[in-house]
C-alpha cells in the first residue's frame, strides 16, 4: 500500500501536521518497496483560496491508497478526495510519522468522514 502522511518534516521522526490543505510536507511511504519520500508542500502558503483541492490533486498524482492526517480535510478538499479510492484516517496529530504508522497498523486511528 502507498500511505500518505501530512507532516511538518521529511522523515519518520517528523511530527504529523494536523492540517490537510496547508500541510507543510506530504510524506509517502510505499510499503512494498519500504521507501519513504517527502514532498515539500510549503508553496501552498501563497495560495489564498483552494489550498485543500490543490493538495488533494498532489495526493492523487502520488496514487495513494491511504491518507493519515490530524484533523479531517476541509469541505473543498473532502469533495475531491471522495473521488479517489482512498481511505482516510484522522487523529494522528501530535504523533510522529512513525508513531502514526504504527497506530494505523494497530487500528488505533479513527476513520475520517
Partner 1 sequence: MKEIVIISGKGGTGKSSICAAIAYLAKAELVVADCDVDAADLHLILHPENSKVQDFYSGVLAEIDPGKCSACGLCYQKCRFDAIEPFEGTYRVIDLECEGCGYCYYICPEDAISLIDQNVGKFLISDTRYGCSLVHAHLKIGADNSGKLVAKVKSEAKAIAKVQDKPYILADGSPGIGCPVIASLAGADYVILVTESSKSGLSDLKRVQELVAKFQIPSACIVNKADINPSVTNDIHKYLNKSKVQHLGDIPYADDFHKAIAMGRSLIEENEARWLPIFTEYWQTIKENI
Partner 2 sequence: MRIAIASGKGGTGKTFLAVNLALKAAETQTTLLMDLDVEEPNGGIFIQGDDAETHKVTRAIPSWDPGSCNLCGKCINWCKFNALIKLGEMILVMPPLCHSCYACSELCPMQALPMEQQSLGEIRHLQLGKLDFTESKLDIGLEQSSPLIERTLEFADEHFAEKELQLLDSPPGTACAMVSAVKTVDYVILISEPTPFGLFDLNLAVETVRQLNLPFSVVINRDGIGNNDIYKYLQKEGITLLAKIPHQREIAELYSHGEIIYRKVPAVDQALEQILSKIRSLS
Using CB under 8 A, list all residues that contact partner 2: 47, 49-51, 53-54, 56-57, 60, 75-76, 79-80, 83-84
**Residue 93 found at the interface with partner 1 (CB under 8 A):** yes
Contact call for residues 16 and 90 (beta carbons, < 8 A)? no
84 binds, among partner 1, partner 2, none (CB under 5 to 8 A by kind): partner 2
Sheet holding 25-30, edge to edge: 35-40, 25-30, 2-7, 66-68, 87-90, 110-111
Helix (H) or strand (E) holding 48: none
Convert residues 39-78 into a mask of x (bound to partner 1 by CB under 8 A) and - (unbound): ------xxxxx-x------------------xxx-xx--x
Amino acid at each position: 500500500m502507498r500511505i500518505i502522511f501530512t507532516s511538518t518534516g521529511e522523515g519518520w521522526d517528523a511530527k504529523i501536521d494536523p492540517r490537510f490543505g496547508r500541510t507543510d510536507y506530504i510524506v509517502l511511504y510505499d510499503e512494498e518497496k519500504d521507501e519513504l519520500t517527502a514532498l515539500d508542500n510549503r508553496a501552498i502558503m501563497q495560495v489564498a483560496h483552494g489550498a485543500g483541492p490543490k493538495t488533494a490533486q498532489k495526493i492523487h498524482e502520488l496514487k495513494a491508497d491511504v491518507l493519515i492526517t490530524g484533523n479531517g480535510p476541509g469541505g473543498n478538499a473532502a469533495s475531491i478526495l471522495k473521488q479517489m479510492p482512498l481511505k482516510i484516517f484522522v487523529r494522528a496529530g501530535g504523533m510522529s510519522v512513525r508513531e502514526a504508522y504504527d497506530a494505523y497498523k494497530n487500528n488505533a486511528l479513527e476513520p475520517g468522514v
